[in-house]
Amino acid sequence: MVDGPKVYGDLTFVINLIMDFIILWATARLAGTKIIISRLTVASLLGAIYSVIYLFPSMAIWYCLPAKILFSCVILVLGLAPKDWQQFKKALLYFYVISFAAAGATMAVSYLLTAPEQGFKFSYLWLVAGAGFIILLGIYGEKHLLKRIVPDLLKFGVELRFGTRSCNGQGFLDTGNGLRDPLTNRPVVVAEYELIRKCLPEDFKQVLDVCQDENDILDGLSRSSWANRLRIIPFSSIGRRNGILVGIRADALLVNTGKSDVAHNNVVVGIYREKLSSDGSYQMLIPSEIMDNG
């Protein structure tokens, strides 16, 4: 009989403790959650214990795919304490992306530094390479993800329809957009005036082009041909506690997710006169509720 490779519980515990801690730390940085060392340590200890229990064949039932995903959620909540559902989803995504990326980096280093005839041979050097990759991702990946990758993932092609007219532009998924239509309590999409201007009737555009005072704008729009579409949306922002945003009801909104369109009827669109994006990469802000209820 040929003996299989020996697996030591103490080494398994230490390796997983270190790797889980580094992965959770990098996840916290990328997800924007507060890093609390004590919480990360406790969660990493729990992850290390879970990895050691795997060595006992009788416990195999706890290592099916649903159980692994559930356990990932548990250590994320314990280690990162996400403040809401949105932050938890973001942290879970980063957790798996980092984990798979680290595994890929480890295999890549092994492939590059090992002769083809030797095949894959485990070495702690590969673990060091994987840990180093995660640390670099946590330190430098945050800015890259936040400035390049994440914004691109949150942009969608959007079409607004007003009768027979339509306006197309780029929308940005804004999880912080809490504007709601007071009449229907539905979420409000914010769009640049220049984007939807071509869809508006002449008398409506004339008021917005000429008037600056809020009272004059409301008075003029209330007498326009689209007065029945007019909405007044209250908002609060830094430096302005009681502001109002002129809104208009669109017949339909279509968001192209790449696979299919998320469609909503009778959506209220808040009209923003300035630029929403300094580089012009998007012209609308889409509430997350729009995407969730599509």
Q: Average pLDDT of 161-182?
A: 86
Arithmetic mean of pLDDT over the chain: 81
Across 6-15, 145-154, 180-189, least confident range: 145-154
List pLDDT tens digits, range 234-286: 877 655 566 788 999 999 999 987 777 788 999 999 999 899 888 888 999 99
Q: CA 243 → CA 196, 248, 275, distances in Å?
A: 22, 17, 18
Q: Average pLDDT of 13-37?
A: 86
CB atoms within 10 A of CB 69: 12
Predicted confidence at residue 107, as pLDDT, reads 63
Residue from 77, 79, 73 nearest 45 by CA = 79
CA distance 82 to 86: 9
The better pLDDT of the pair 293, 280 is held by: 280
Confidence of residue 68 (pLDDT cuts 50, 70, 90): confident
What's the gap between Cα 110 and its chain centre?
Answer: 33
pLDDT at 116 over 70: no
DSSP-derived pairing of the beta strands 230-237 and 240-256: antiparallel
Buried b (16+ CB within 10 A) or exposed e, 142-180: beebeeeeeeeebbbebbbbbeeebbebbbbbbbebebb
Across 22-26, 45-49, 127-131, least confident range: 127-131
Confidence of residue 188 (pLDDT cuts 50, 70, 90): very high
List pLDDT tens digits, range 240-249: 566 788 999 9
Predicted confidence at residue 122, as pLDDT, reads 52
Would you give the DSSP letter of residue 236?
A: E
Predicted confidence at residue 290, as pLDDT, reads 81
pLDDT at 178 over 50: yes
Predicted confidence at residue 182, as pLDDT, reads 86
pTM of this structure:
0.54
